[in-house]
Each structure stands twice: as structure tokens, then as C-alpha cells.
Structure 1
Amino acid sequence: MTTNADDVWRLLAELAEAQKETERQFQETRQLLQRQSEESDRRFREQSEESDRRFRETERIIKQQNEKLNQELGKLGNRLGEFVEWQVRPAAVQLFQKRGIAVNEFHGDLSVKRFGEALEIDLLVVNSDQAILVEVKSKLSQTDIDEHLERLEKFKRLMPRYSDVKAMGAVAGMVVPEEVARYGYRRGLFVLAQSGDSVVILNDDKFRPRQW
């Protein structure tokens, strides 16, 4: 078959038209992909913003719950401390008398400031020549014992009217971990704990209290 000029021009026109169609389809495809990309970006931003909003809301709720829990724990700790102290108060004199320490009175919630120092005593059980400083906690810890030992070191200096007595120390708690009780025993302190509806001294009969 002989190809003439008209055939060539016709083929070129068809090719040009095909290229236009390909370009049109390419543009439509690119626009479609762009719209899809923009839609994906929009959805991602919305999801990201929603996730951030939910995270901030969850964080706010958790913070609020923690603050409330801390407040409730603080109130509970105070109530437990008061409960233990009011259990120890009426039993203290009798408990130490049974240990051969002839104390006959107690004073609660003593506080004194002298020489730029402060001293607070939950319970002071005394007679004419002996005094026992009792620190009361809802849950007793080793730190509580160390702080009470520091309190005993400055007791006579800040309360000189007791300078001639034999001072001893005791710690009491509604909850007293075994290792903490042993630590207090080794440091020369009486350790008191709740047992049923009463308070007992955990130290055995071999115990000899440290004196200050």
C-alpha cells in the first residue's frame, strides 16, 4: 500500500489527538491524586487534632483524679494518725508501767521553739525522773525513726526542765513493717503497734532502751 502525504498528515493528526487525550487523562489523574492527597492530609490533621484533644482531656482528667486522690490520702493519713494517737494515749502509761517504768502521766502535742530550733512531741509520758517521747504514725517508716532519734538528741536542750530525767524514745504505728520494727529495736527505741483493738509493745523482755 502506498502512503501519500494525506495519509501522513492524517496519522500525525491522530497522533496529536492521542497525545492530547493522554495529556488530558494525565491531568485528570494528577488532579485526582492531588485531591486524594489533600483529603488525606485534611483527615490526618483532623485525626491528629482529635488525638491531641483527647490526649489533653485524658491528661486533665488523670491530673484531676491524682489531685483528688492525694487529697483523700492526705485526709485518710491524718485520720489514721489521729486514730492511732488516740489509741496510744490511753494505753501508754499502762504499757510502760508493765515494763517496769513507773511513769504516771502523759502530755500530748507538745511544741517548743528555742535557740532557733523547733521541737514537736506527739506524746510525752513522764514521772519525776523518767520521760518517754512517743512519735505516732499511721504507717511507721525508717525515716520516721531517724527523725525521732534527732528529736531525742535535742529534747533536753530545748526543754531544759527535763534536763535531769532519763529520757527514752518510743515509736508507734497502726502499720509497722517487720524490718522497721527491727530497726527501731536496734536503735534502742520501744516499738508500739496495733494488735486487734489494742496497742502492744513489740520489744521482747530482753530489750534495754537507750537513754538520753
Structure 2
Amino acid sequence: MATTADEVWQLLGELIQSQKETERRLQETERLLKEQSQKTDRQIQELSKQIGGLGKKFGSFTEGLALPSMETILYEKFAMEVVTPSVRVSKRGKHIELDVLAMPMER
């Protein structure tokens, strides 16, 4: 079967249209992927904040569970007279956080 020049031009036109449609779909897919990626990034950031908050709450919870035993040991075994939980100190731009601070009152 012989193909005429008109048929070749028609096929070429159809191919061009098909390529344009493929390019349009590809651009739309890329746009959707970018949107989804940004949404996923936001969700990961939010989840990271939530997990960080849970970690802090869990740390405070476990410190609260341990404190009564630590107080007893510090008073009875080490003769500490001052025991206080959760101390934060800042001086000259340096910071320290202590879960428990214990001191004897002797001088």
C-alpha cells in the first residue's frame, strides 16, 4: 500500500497534536506532583512538631515518676537538704537545664 504525501502530512499533524497533548498532560502531572510534595512536606513538619511535643511530655511524665524515689535517695543516702525538680539557669548566654537539683545546706 502506497502512502501519499497528503496522508504523510495528515499523520504528521496527528503526531504533532498527540505530542502537544502528551506534553500538556506531563506538565499537569508535574504540577500535581509538586503540589502533593509540598503538602507532604507540610504534613511531615507538623508531625515532627507533634512528635517533639509528645517526647517532651513523655520526658516530663517519666521524670515525675522517678522524682519521689530520687528525693528519698537524695535525702536518706546522700543527706541532701534541698531537692528541687526542673531547674533552668542562664548566665552570660549559656544555658543549663537540670531535671533535679540537690544541695546540702552545710557550709
* Percent identical residues: 19
For residues 103 and 124 of structure 1, what CA distance do their matches in structure 2 show? Answer: 10
User: Aligned residue for 1:125?
Assistant: 102
The number of residues matched between the two structures is 106
Gaps of 5+ in 1: 1-21, 130-163, 165-212
- Compute the TM-score of the two structures, normalised by the length of structure 2: 0.76
RMSD: 2.5
For residues 91 and 38 of structure 2, what CA distance do their matches in structure 1 show? Answer: 45
| 1:112 corresponds to which of 81, 89, 93 | 89
For residues 117 and 51 of structure 1, what CA distance do their matches in structure 2 show? Answer: 50
Structural mapping, 1:1-212, within 5 Å: 26-96=4-74, 100-128=77-105
User: Aligned residue for 1:148?
Assistant: none
Residue identity opposite 1:120 in structure 2: E
- Give the structure with the larger strand fraction: 1
State the SS of the aligned residue for 1:101: coil
Q: CA, structure 1 residues 103+112, in 2 after alignment: closer, same or farther (shift >3 Å)?
A: same
For residues 92 and 34 of structure 2, what CA distance do their matches in structure 1 show? Answer: 50
Structure with max Cα Rg: 1
